[in-house]
């Protein structure tokens, strides 16, 4: 199975070889000039073009399959280009998947972990492969089904994932009423979204209350929380301070940028993350 490769970036775009398909997509952080000549970029089968009014659309130069598979971050992944310009995975999260799998291997077998805004579930699969009992939650039924399809492509991942379609805040409130504890929490909240019943989510108003609810659901013996973000206006220091507040200065926090390495080794920044753990990682 062919891998995902970031070939080049610049002029707020990135050129990616997604398995067998070459494509160009927006990369707002890529402020520098492109390294490869225009003739290489012109080979892209599809270019995602953003609209000035928001959203965007694919400009396909050649016919490509509706879906295909590629390898990245230790997983076989089912790719489907979406109307939002996504492929079904975020390449910059690969380091987090490895960290989560290694972390869960060090924890007691069957540790309960919760993945919120879980998208197509690579973080869920990483924790399950590490031995955790994972609850995967996303408001979009289609994304949860997509996650199940990716799980089926990776038979080495145990059947330790509970797949749930629900609004994040609604689910957490119900779990708190029932007294259910999840000692590990992973979340990558969007800037804006709606739950399956139209529940409105805005990160500016919703993030801190949500994180406080997540801390409550972790019970008296929390083990880890991984918070990653792609929203503008936040920094690793922002995430570090809010996690330090949640856990009252206890435990250990690692923060940084999420990046993808180009074929030549240069890094494309693609979001931020902060990991709190009860025990310091080696």
* CATH of residue 26: 2.60.40.1180
pLDDT at 201: 67
* Angle subtended at Cα 236 by Cα 173 and Cα 51, rounded to the nearest 5 degrees: 80
Contacts of 86 (CB under 8 A, 6+ apart): none
Whether residues 52 and 97 fall in one domain: no
Whether residues 148 and 57 fall in one domain: no
pLDDT at 272: 97
**Tokens at residue 275, please?**
């990991």
Q: How many structural domains compose the chain?
A: 2
HEC string for 77-92: EEECCCCCCCCCCCHH
pLDDT band at 53 (very low <50, low <70, confident <90, very high): confident
Whether residues 98 and 58 fall in one domain: no
In a domain, 206, yes or no: yes
Domain limits for position 28? 4-79
In a domain, 127, yes or no: yes
Q: What percent of the chain has pLDDT over 70?
A: 99
pLDDT at 51: 85
Q: Per-residue pLDDT tens for 89-140?
A: 999 999 999 999 999 999 998 999 999 999 999 999 999 999 999 999 999 9
Alpha-carbon separation of residue 56 from 47, 51, 59, 86, 219 (angstroms): 10, 5, 10, 11, 42
In a domain, 112, yes or no: yes
| CB 19 within 8 Å of CB 69 | yes
In a domain, 9, yes or no: yes
| CB 30 within 8 Å of CB 14 | yes
């Amino acid at each position: 199975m062919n891998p995902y490769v970031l070939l080049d970036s610049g002029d707020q775009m990135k050129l990616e070889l997604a398995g067998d398909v070459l494509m160009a997509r927006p990369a707002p952080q890529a402020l520098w000039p492109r390294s490869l000549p225009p003739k290489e970029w012109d080979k892209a089968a599809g270019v995602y073009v953003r609209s000035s009014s928001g959203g965007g659309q694919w400009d396909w130069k050649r016919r490509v399959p509706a879906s295909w598979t590629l390898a990245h971050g230790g997983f076989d992944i089912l790719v489907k280009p979406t109307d939002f310009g996504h492929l079904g995975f975020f390449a910059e999260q690969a380091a987090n998947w490895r960290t989560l799998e290694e972390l869960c291997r060090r924890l007691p077998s069957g540790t309960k972990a919760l993945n919120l805004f879980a998208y197509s579930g690579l973080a869920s699969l990483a924790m399950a492969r590490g031995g955790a009992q994972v609850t995967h939650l996303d408001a979009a039924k289609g994304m949860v089904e997509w996650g199940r399809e990716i799980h089926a492509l990776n038979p080495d991942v145990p059947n330790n994932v509970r797949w749930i379609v629900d609004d994040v805040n609604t689910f957490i409130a119900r779990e708190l009423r029932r007294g259910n504890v999840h000692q590990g929490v992973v979340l990558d909240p969007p800037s804006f979204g709606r739950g399956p019943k139209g529940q409105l989510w805005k990160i500016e108003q919703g993030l801190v209350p949500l994180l406080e609810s997540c801390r409550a659901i972790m019970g008296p013996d929390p083990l880890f929380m991984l918070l990653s973000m792609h929203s503008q206006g936040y920094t690793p220091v922002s995430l570090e301070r809010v996690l330090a507040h949640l856990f009252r200065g206890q435990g250990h926090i690692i923060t940084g940028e999420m990046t993808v390495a180009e074929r030549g080794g240069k890094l494309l920044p693609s979001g931020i993350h902060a990991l709190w753990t009860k025990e310091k990682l080696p």
